[in-house]
Amino acid sequence: MARSTHALLLLLAVAAVAAASCSSAAAAGLEVAEVCKGTPYVELCSATAGKQASRYPTVDALSVLSMQVDAFSKRAAAARLHAIKMAADPASTPGAVRALKTCDTLYSDVEDNLGAARRAIGFKDAVTIRAMMGMAQQDMQNCDEEFRKEGAENPMTRFDQSLLNISENCRALSNLI
């Protein structure tokens, strides 16, 4: 009898911890959604930041900005890998390969800008964050321009548009810190 009571108490303790964890994750998600209301792409902000919220002790504009920069970095790295893969595809035209190689370089620049933005977040330096986001936006627009110059369809459009949207969210969040 004592053994079953002990097992029941243990089970209740585990259930309580799990419930507290779920409720704190839900609360963090609501806090992220509230901060993201101040961005132009609310759904994108909530979707990308909400996944990371439980790793932060507090959810505020600064932490959501940090989450957005992390999401931006992951997306830029994925775009860079896609550009490299497309450039190596034998079906890609010479003009598209040139443009894709330029985009690869530009995405590398974006990653450098995001590193500077991360450092600026540590200092709550909103001006530098906005400047780095502006430079990142310019790099993505330059990628698009390379394809226009070549008269080729841009296979990076989907990446570039989502990156531009995340950068706009980052700029908006930097105004809140």
Predicted confidence at residue 85, as pLDDT, reads: 98
Report the CATH number at residue 55: 1.20.140.40
> pLDDT tens digit string along 96-106?
999 999 999 99
50: confidence class by pLDDT, cuts 50, 70, 90: confident
Residue 58 located in a structural domain: yes
- Cα separation, 81 vs 53, whole angstroms: 27
Residue 153 located in a structural domain: yes
Residue 8 located in a structural domain: no
Q: Are 132 and 3 in contact (CB under 8 A)?
A: no
- Cα separation, 7 vs 11, whole angstroms: 6
18: confidence class by pLDDT, cuts 50, 70, 90: very low
Residue 11 located in a structural domain: no
| Domain, as residue range, for 94 | 28-174
14: confidence class by pLDDT, cuts 50, 70, 90: very low
> pLDDT tens digit string along 136-169?
999 999 999 999 999 999 999 999 999 999 999 9
Residue 116 located in a structural domain: yes
Residue 110 located in a structural domain: yes
Mean of pLDDT over the chain: 89
